[in-house]
Amino acid sequence: MQEWELEWVEEAERLARTEYARSYNRADSPVAGEVPEDAQDDVVVDGEFDFGDISLGKRMADRDELDEYLAQPVEHVADALMWWRNKRHVFPKLSKMAADYLSIPGKCQ
């Protein structure tokens, strides 16, 4: 495993948090497949409210995917894009950010 200087790690985390908050964790940038935040409490099925998905914990919109991801142990993966694709249901907003950055084409010389 590559050992980075602590300053580099802290700066990388700061930059990731800033971009995530600015572009991916905003209320006005929904992720495909998510129920809009203002509609989450009003799900109606066949004319009746559906209470099947009520959670006693934090609402999905309130959780911080980046904090959850950073709290997990490091995994060694061969294909980072595929890992994020497989985790898109766990980290929908963060996986979108990862796909945007990891799919940037390299510079050809």
List pLDDT tens digits, range 6-60. Answer: 999 999 999 999 999 999 998 766 554 454 444 444 444 444 544 454 444 444 4
HSE-CB of 10 using CA atoms within 13 angstroms: 3
Q: Give me 26's structure tokens.
A: 């905003």
Q: The domain containing residue 71 runs over which residues?
A: 6-33+62-102
Instruction: Tell me, yes or no, whether 95 lies in a domain.
Output: yes
CA nearest to 70, candidates 5, 9, 22, 8: 9
pTM beyond cutoff 0.75: no
Instruction: Tell me, yes or no, whether 55 lies in a domain.
Output: no
Instruction: Tell me, yes or no, whether 52 lies in a domain.
Output: no
For residue 74, pLDDT over 80 is answered with yes
Q: Which residues make Cβ contacts (< 8 Å) with residue 70, sequence separation at least 6? A: 13
Specify the higher pLDDT residue, 58 or 84.
Answer: 84
Total domain count, the chain: 1
CA nearest to 24, candidates 79, 73, 84: 84
Instruction: Tell me, yes or no, whether 86 lies in a domain.
Output: yes
